Structure 1
Amino acid sequence: MAQGSAAEAVEAPLLSSSPATVPAAPRRNTFSFVCAMLASMTTILMGYNLALMSGAELFMREDLGLTDEQVEVLSGSMNVFMLASILAAGWAADLAGRRATLVLANAFLTAGALAMSLGGGFIALTAARFVTSLGAGFAVVATSPTTPSPGYLSTSAGAPCSPPASLPPRSSPPACSSPRWLAMSGRDGEAVAVLARTSDTPAEAGDRLEEIIHAKATGTDLGSSSSPITRRIFTNVLALQFFHQASGIDAIVLYSPLVFQKSGMSSNTLVLGATVAVGIIKTCSIFVATLLSDRVGRRPLLLASTAGVAGRPAWPLTLTSLAATLSTFTTPTTLTMAACFASVLSYVAAFSVGLGPLTQAYSAEILPLRMRARGAGLGTAVNRLTCGVLSMTFISLANSVGMAGCFFLYAGLMLLACVFVYVRLPETRGRSLEDMDVLFSS
């Protein structure tokens, strides 16, 4: 399909239904939003399977007699197991599309969850975690975002109309693949249909299609992995993915019961309640990021988040205060418990309003069109590898240098992350994938 005819096909409804002098009012794109939320069920399943160890470890130690080393393996090995499917997911998404990759991801996630419910020992649970990790690896790459910004947080826009595979396909809304993947595959007509349904106006859909077709036809410098612009983008993606996990977020999520016990909480009920509160604060903060991302911008949120996680004066109750509390008060008291609990909640909130949700969104926004899936796979591999190293060594490191030492280390890394964001990451709000070469060439 020619570039002009494709754009005309998208804008035809606008011309035929409205007077030429009266532009159509932007409509709320409920179709794109609902599909993005449905696809986000994949990442919910993935996050559940990654984080369920946090509360479960309290009871697995007692019921199954697991050692610290076995708890570390069960908590962190999934991130290492994921590497195989993460690296394969980019190839699968380019070959079969993100919709098919999401279906495969959910099949593994469902099978792994069922296997874990039946596991009665360390070996069985490890095998079940391996199956789950295959699905999590496919999911985290296949759900990297490319839809309009309202749906970015679900990390589902790579396949903006893909239903969760845990639901029967015929009971789900109409499914479609990424318009960019369709256009790159020579299926311009289907790309037009997807863009018409996922854009706020037909004119916006026409503009987006023109950009995609132009990038496909001309093949800018971003199409070459050896170009300076591409190397800069990939370096930024890999560094951002590293800092995302170097914040120690998974140490908090997976081992928050140990942190709270260290502060003096002795009751399992109290520890579990505090752990649940962490999850609630994390979720609420992500909704804040959803509201602010397109109003404030990605860069300000990333700067505020990295500085806040480190514990700067504007947001003092985070990693630095947590480490200081654990190192200063050797005898647990009510004050110690309260200070530790407040620091953990503040840290999780700071992480979740910027660095948490925006790492994947920002990475997907800047990666070159022709290498997006593979680039996302490589970036996610760095993310998961960093997470695996930290989560599989946290208990051992805490026994060696103290739990406070672990959090002082993470705070220092977040100061470096703040400098990195300030120096290397430009604002991408309002930019399309096709004009990233202009942004990163300046």
Structure 2
Amino acid sequence: MDFDPPKKPKRNKYAFGCALLASMVSVLLGYDLGVMSGAMLYIKDDLKISDVQIEILAGILNLYSLIGSFAAGRTSDWIGRRYTIVVSQAIFFVGAILMGFSTNYAFLMVGRFFAGVGVGYALMIAPVYTAEVSPASTRGFLTSFPEVFINSGILLGYVSNYAFSKLPTHYGWRAMLGVGAVPSVILGIVVLWMPESPRWLVMQGRLGDAKTVLDKTSDSKEEAQIRLADIKEAAGIPENCTDDIVQVSKRSHGEDVWKELLLRPTPAVRHVLVAAVGIHFFQQCSGIDSVVLYSPRIFEKAGIKSASTKLLATVAVGFVKTVSILIATFLLDKIGRRPLLLSSVAGMIISLATLASGLTVINHNVHTVSWAVALCIIMLLAFVASFSIGMGPITWVYSSEIFPLKLRAQGASLGVAVNRLTSGVISMTFISLYKGITIGGAFFLYAGVALVSWVFFYFMLPETQGRTLEDMERLFGNFKWKLAKNRNNNIKEVSNGGGNDNGPNRQVQLGTK
């Protein structure tokens, strides 16, 4: 007798489209990172500025984006996730235009300010909106889209560098930076066709509108009902309430969440906060933005002298990053966040240490060491591939899905703020760092940080694959306890007056499925 296994639900095309459009705003950060790596070569010559000014110019956008990421949390609770995306595009548009028409260094820094604020808004809101609109079955796949578009933007920036490098120096770098205004206009208009986040709608008491969106973005009617019930519970709305519009408490509009997040967090929320801040911190401390922003300099240190060849080599970096992130999107919901993240960081540690060794060999030899040059190029590509297949996308997936509903916008904005602050420090100190401890020493330092991050992820980050957003607080509240049990199976279980480790209550208390 033939047996037909249950079919997997088809991917929800409506949710896919919404996630795609929302995530495309992340292309702004990627484009700026990619294009600045090449534009810096020409800006330095044209404006006659120092290496320190170049460091500040490259990294200051990340510090400016802190303003946007913090403001986006409150803005998205006030006017909604969708209109916050429009705000991000408008602000970045102003920044791109100012940079494209800059006449001096000070004018250029003003443009960087507006671009940075716009990037901060986009980085915070894109993963939050995508997580809130996605069904649990494909949330990892869809929430990884922002990182896909960051990498796509980096590739576009590198290609733009190579394309505009043939123009006179005075016009070339201005064209590279100014053309970033074009996608911001297109995206700002397109996102108006997206629905609002169902979770934000519930927070405003608009249950009828939320139900309509959930019906379209869920894999089945039953799932839509379950998701609505979970969101209502998290928002403090009675489950038996069937009105389309209800009055919600003042807290549901985002007031006092900072107290619950930072001053009086529950143990579970504290764990969530440490996990979110930690993964954003370590993502940038691994030196990825140094590689993206200064890849032409790194290739020069590795023995490549031709300016056009260096720019072409950076295109290879962008291509490898983009291909790797595309692979990662299909693995997130198949093998899980945790195994993919730990494997990714392990690859980063090995490639960074080997790259540092190759650069050290080159630095200590007067003549060209061909094998070391080839090794450095391969390891640089291996590093960006390892990063993009795990650490890159999982950071945004994780931080957008683990916070409780009423804390999600501000919690995610705090994670982005840490991400941008760390990135700003790393990118604004890279040239000074490698001049102080050599280029090889800088990458040995990044490898050491990556090793520490692996340990942190192993002990602090539980698997979230397949969990509903409303189930995360319970999961994080039990994770440390589970690790302790796994390390010592002889510890008596405190559950309903004790009992053995194999008792029926263990599964319930641990929150496992």
TM-score for the superposition, normalised by structure 1: 0.87
Q: Distance in 2 between matches of 1:132 and 1:170?
A: 18
For structure 1, the 5+ residue unaligned runs are 1-22, 157-163, 312-317
Residue by residue, what CA displacement relative to the aligned partner does 1:354-373 show, whole Å, maximum 9, x if unpaired?
A: 00011011111111111101
Say which SS state the counterpart of residue 66 (structure 1) adopts. coil
Q: Distance in 2 between matches of 1:400 and 1:215?
A: 51
Q: Distance in 2 between matches of 1:357 and 1:169?
A: 23
Aligned counterpart, 1:431: 467
Superposition CA RMSD, Å: 2.0
Q: Is the contact between residue 398 and residue 405 of structure 1 (CA under 8 Å) also seen in structure 2?
A: yes
Q: Is the contact between residue 23 and residue 127 of structure 2 (CA under 8 Å) also seen in structure 1?
A: no
Q: Is the contact between residue 152 and residue 361 of structure 1 (CA under 8 Å) also seen in structure 2?
A: yes
In percent, how many aligned pairs have the same letter? 44
1:289 matches 2:328: yes
Q: Distance in 1 between matches of 2:114 and 2:221?
A: 43
Aligned counterpart, 1:328: 361
Aligned counterpart, 2:435: 399
After TM superposition, list the pairs within 5 Å mapping 1:304-315 onto structure 2.
304-311=343-350
The code of the aligned residue for 2:375 comes to: A
Aligned counterpart, 1:6: none
Residue by residue, what CA displacement relative to the aligned partner does 1:136-179 show, whole Å, maximum 9, x if unpaired?
A: 111111112412324212239xxxxxxx8623877667322111
Q: Distance in 1 between matches of 2:279 and 2:190?
A: 38
Residue by residue, what CA displacement relative to the aligned partner does 1:60-109 show, whole Å, maximum 9, x if unpaired?
A: 22333232111101110001111112111101011111111111100011
Q: Distance in 1 between matches of 2:189 and 2:431?
A: 46
Q: Is the contact between residue 90 and residue 188 of structure 2 (CA under 8 Å) also seen in structure 1?
A: no
State the Cα distance separating 1:377 from its structure 2 match: 0.9
Q: Distance in 1 between matches of 2:17 and 2:201?
A: 21
Q: Is the contact between residue 356 and residue 444 of structure 2 (CA under 8 Å) also seen in structure 1?
A: yes
Q: Which of residues 51, 62, 65 in structure 2 aligns to 1:79? A: 62
Q: Distance in 1 between matches of 2:205 and 2:450?
A: 43
For structure 2, the 5+ residue unaligned runs are 1-5, 148-182, 239-256, 479-513
Q: Which of residues 14, 23, 29 in structure 2 aligns to 1:31? A: 14
Say which SS state the counterpart of residue 70 (structure 1) adopts. helix
Q: Structure 1 residues 325, 171: CA separation in 2 closer, same or farther (over 3 Å shift)?
A: closer
Aligned counterpart, 1:3: none
State the Cα distance separating 1:202 from its structure 2 match: 1.5
Larger radius of gyration: 2
Aligned counterpart, 1:414: 450
State the Cα distance separating 1:298 from its structure 2 match: 0.3
Say which SS state the counterpart of residue 354 (structure 2) adopts. helix
The code of the aligned residue for 1:95 comes to: W
The code of the aligned residue for 1:189 comes to: G
State the Cα distance separating 1:206 from its structure 2 match: 1.4
Q: Structure 1 residues 251, 437: CA separation in 2 closer, same or farther (over 3 Å shift)?
A: same
Q: Distance in 1 between matches of 2:407 and 2:293?
A: 33
The code of the aligned residue for 1:366 comes to: I
Residue by residue, what CA displacement relative to the aligned partner does 1:414-439 show, whole Å, maximum 9, x if unpaired?
A: 11111111111110000011111221
After TM superposition, list the pairs within 5 Å mapping 1:188-199 onto structure 2.
188-199=207-218
Aligned counterpart, 1:114: 97
Q: Structure 1 residues 423, 130: CA separation in 2 closer, same or farther (over 3 Å shift)?
A: same
Q: Is the contact between residue 348 and residue 450 of structure 2 (CA under 8 Å) also seen in structure 1?
A: yes
State the Cα distance separating 1:218 from its structure 2 match: 7.2
Say which SS state the counterpart of residue 466 (structure 2) adopts. coil
Q: Is the contact between residue 49 and residue 113 of structure 1 (CA under 8 Å) also seen in structure 2?
A: no
Structure 1 segments of 4+ aligned residues over 4 angstroms from their partners: 168-173
Aligned counterpart, 1:278: 317
TM-score for the superposition, normalised by structure 2: 0.76
Residue by residue, what CA displacement relative to the aligned partner does 1:242-286 show, whole Å, maximum 9, x if unpaired?
A: 001011000000001111100111001111111111001000000
Q: Is the contact between residue 85 and residue 191 of structure 2 (CA under 8 Å) also seen in structure 1?
A: no
The code of the aligned residue for 1:286 comes to: I
Say which SS state the counterpart of residue 217 (structure 1) adopts. coil
Q: Distance in 2 between matches of 1:165 and 1:77?
A: 20
Aligned length in residues: 404
